[in-house]
Structure 1
């Protein structure tokens, strides 16, 4: 199975966007979008996880989530998983 994730962040100075693997409690697969910033910023995070599994094609929305991110914190984590 291959999944591709994209993410969009809007608002304030551009934060650093990192896509990381997500652990899924149901044994599926997923992605997590973590957003961090060196400055205080309010960001809207959204994206899509898409790909093909043995069960067929999947397309899972991630977000949108609007959060204020502060420097020196872990930031915001948004995730989506397939079953």
Structure 2
């Protein structure tokens, strides 16, 4: 196994942010589901009524897929083009 040349920048990668959010989301659902219910209760009624409940089950999946897509997109703030050497 060989690391990518810019492995030290992994905290800056957008894909890392998406994956960390997915881990946090799924961990919260598993370990403290009441927190999700408390967060949902704090959201204003007007906003809650705009979010279809069927979308809620897809939040984690969207975060994981977003992380995969982010790996394919150039991230200029990293100071390099793609994953070139």
TM range (shorter): under 0.3
Q: Which has the larger radius of gyration?
A: 2
Normalised TM-score (structure 2): 0.24
Q: Looking at both structures, which has the greater relative contact order when contacts are Cα pairs under 8 Å and sequence separation is at least 6? A: 2
Normalised TM-score (structure 1): 0.24
Relative to its length, the structure with more helix (as a share) is 2
